[in-house]
Amino acid sequence: MNRTLRKTLKFALIVGVVILAIGLFQQLDLEPLKAQIQEMGPWAPVGIFALRAFSVVIPIIPSTFWAFVAGSLLDYPVAVATVVIADIVSCSLAFYLAKRYGRNLVEKLVGKRFMGKVDELSKKHLESNFFLLAGALMTGAFDFVSYSAGLTTTKWKMFLPALVLGAIVSDAPMVAIGANLFQKGRGYMFAGIAILSVFCLAMLAGWLQKRGAASAVSK
């Protein structure tokens, strides 16, 4: 498969996943959840923070769902801050648990079915370059990347800045999608913007990883 075809298929996959995610999310009845969040008053961000963090440490439910929910139910700046802080805290915890307790605990937390994903990421030598790590943390597999990095020789002084950068860059578009999903009359327009933003994010993550790989080879 040549490089152009591979990029075309990757773009088509991204478009398909985003459209599917938007379509599925729009079918959900969020009114009960919204009512419960509103009842929490000023504690609402804390509830979403806990749900997002839990879905990262124990990835049973895709964590992107809670970014959409935050965007739908909270003011945009509060939603972005909530999701970014939740990711920094939970990914740091995942990294620490993997570093401190090793593979056995990680397998219990992510499940045997997903342990292969953790092992696959560990083989990419993310610990060798900041850009490789930052690019990987901008992808949808950032929770698994955190566990993988913890199982390698990656140091805190490289992991934490990469995590903060990845969370800020990748969370803002996801929350923005949730903030606009239910605005009537703008569905098709926003779907296009969402696809473009996610594609740009994927391109940035890919560029960072390529830069990191090239830098590692040149050393």
Is the pLDDT at 69 greater than 50? The verdict is yes
Task: Check residue 169 and give its pLDDT.
Answer: 84
Question: Per mean pLDDT, which of 29-38, 149-158, 206-215 is the most reliable?
Answer: 149-158
Task: Check residue 146 and give its pLDDT.
Answer: 92
Question: Per mean pLDDT, which of 12-21, 42-51, 112-121, 204-213 is the most reliable?
Answer: 42-51
CA dist., res. 92 & res. 110, Å (int) = 15
Q: Is residue 71 part of a domain?
A: yes
Q: Is residue 139 part of a domain?
A: yes
Q: Is residue 104 part of a domain?
A: yes
Sequence-distant (6+) residues with CB within 8 A of 187 are: 26
Q: Supply the range of the domain harboring residue 124.
A: 27-214
Q: Is residue 82 part of a domain?
A: yes
Q: How many domains does the chain have?
A: 1
Q: Is residue 83 part of a domain?
A: yes
pLDDT digits (tens, 9 = 90+) for 143-178: 999 999 998 888 999 999 999 988 988 888 888 777
Q: Is residue 35 part of a domain?
A: yes
pLDDT digits (tens, 9 = 90+) for 38-64: 677 778 889 889 989 998 998 776 777
Task: Check residue 217 and give its pLDDT.
Answer: 45
Sequence-distant (6+) residues with CB within 8 A of 102 are: 151
CA dist., res. 133 & res. 146, Å (int) = 9
What confidence category does residue 137 fall into, taking pLDDT thresholds of 50, 70 and 90?
A: confident
Q: Is residue 129 part of a domain?
A: yes
CA dist., res. 132 & res. 208, Å (int) = 6
Q: Is residue 179 part of a domain?
A: yes
Contact 177, 71 (CB under 8 A): yes
Task: Check residue 3 and give its pLDDT.
Answer: 59
Task: Check residue 101 and give its pLDDT.
Answer: 92
Q: Where would I find the H helices in the chain?
A: 3-27, 31-39, 44-57, 64-73, 76-101, 103-110, 112-122, 130-137, 142-150, 156-180, 187-218
